[in-house]
Amino acid sequence: MTDAPRSSPPPSAPPQPKHADGTPRPLRVLAAMSGGVDSAVAAARAVEAGHDVTGVHLALSANPQSFRTGARGCCTIEDSRDARRAADVIGIPFYVWDLAERFREDVVEDFIAEYEAGRTPNPCLRCNEKIKFAALLDKALALGFDAVCTGHYATVVVREDGSRELHRAGDAAKDQSYVLGVLDERQLAHALFPLGDTLTTKEEIRAEAERRDLAVAKKPDSHDICFIADGDTQGFLADRLGRAEGDIVDEDGQKLGTHEGAHGFTIGQRKGLRIGHPAADGKPRYVLDISPVDNTVTVGPAASLDVTALTAIRPRWCGTPPTGPGTYTAQLRAHGGETEVRAEPAADGTIEVRFAEPVRGVAPGQAVVLYDGTRVVGSATISATHRERATTQPA
C-alpha cells in the first residue's frame, strides 16, 4: 500500500467556523507554547495565517525545580518565562495551565510502571496522547477554541471528502509523526502543525525566529526525558523502585554476574552489564530478555536480538482502521528508520506484525507506528517480540 507522491498538501486547518449570522469568523486557536523555538514560531505563523490565537504553557511539575533546569527540558520555570516573553512579542494573550497532577499520573507513573514490568515505554508519545491531545484539547474545545496548535513537525492532510490524515513532515530530518501516531481522526480535526506543511529546516526556523525578534531563536533543543532532572534514567528508577540484586544469565541459564534491579536494563543494551568474564567467542553481549518476576536479565550475542515478528496491543488509528492484512512500513523508534512489514489486526484487538527482514533493538513497551507511504496509519504498543530462537514477553 502506498500513497501518491505528496507535493503541496491541501490546507490543514479545521473547517472554517461561522458567526451566528452565518458569516465566517477566524479560527480560535490555542497555541501550546513549551518555551522553545518551534512552538513560538508555530504560534507566530498561526497568527500570521489570520487565526485568533491564545498562548498557553503547560505547567507539568508541581515542583519545576525538580525537573530539568536551563534549556534542556520542557518543564522548567525558565521555559514558562521564555514562553511568556515569546507570546508578548507575538502579541497574543498568554496563560499557564496547571496539568502537573494529570502529567504525573498519565506519564510519569506510567513510565515507572512500565519499567517495573520489564517494558521500555516512550513517555513523549504518552504525553502527546494523554496530555497535549486529550487533556489540553478537551479543555480547549470546552472553552470554545476550534483547534490546538503545536510546534510538532508533521502534516495534517485534508482529503476531498473532508476526512483528515496525518502525514510525515516535509523535512524528513525533523519529522515527528512517530510520536503523534496516537492521534485519532477526531483529534486530527482540531490539530494545527504550522511547521510541518513546508520543507522548512530547523536552521530556517531559527532564522525566522530571529527575524521575528523571538529571544528563543538560539535556545538549544530539549533532549532526553524532561522529567528526569539529571538524565540518569537508571538512578531515577532505582530511587522509586528500589535496588534488588538479581542474576545476569546467558541463553542457557548460566549465571554470568549480578545486577541491582532488572528495571535498570533495556532490550539491546550493551554497556553497563558488568559481566565478570568475556563470552567464549570474545564478542560483545547484549540484553535479550528482562524478567521482572524473578529479577533476571538474560544476555547473549547480537544475532540473538534479531526479531522476525511482534504482537502489539491497544492500537490507535489515525483514521479508518484497516479491516484486513496489509503491507506497510513500520517505525519502531522516534528517530529510527522504516522497515517493510506485513501487519494484520486480530479478532482480539491485537495486531500481528511480521518483518520482511529481521530487525534489532525492539522491546515490549515501545510503540510500532505503521505508515502507508507518508501517511500514518496508526500505532500500537508492542507486547511481545518473536525471534527464531526465543520470545521476549514480560510476565
Contact present, 387 and 372 (Cβ < 8 Å): no
Which set of grid coordinates corresponds to residue 387? 525471534
Length of the chain: 395
Q: What is the DSSP letter of 64?
A: G
What is the C-alpha R_g of the chain? Answer: 22
Catalytic residue among 74, 124, 226, 318: 226
Catalytic residue among 124, 127, 149, 318: 127
Which set of grid coordinates corresponds to residue 134? 486529550
Detail the DSSP E strand segments found in the chain: 28-32, 52-59, 94-98, 147-149, 154-158, 164-168, 191-192, 246-249, 255-259, 286-291, 296-300, 307-317, 326-331, 338-345, 351-359, 367-372, 375-386, 391-392
Residue 39's SS3 state is helix
Interatomic CA distance for residues 213 and 120, integer angstroms: 40
Residue 127 appears among annotated catalytic residues: yes
Interatomic CA distance for residues 104 and 323, integer angstroms: 36
**Strand arrangement of the beta sheet that strand 296-300 belongs to:** 255-259, 246-249, 296-300, 286-291
Which set of grid coordinates corresponds to residue 234? 537508571
Catalytic residues: 127, 226
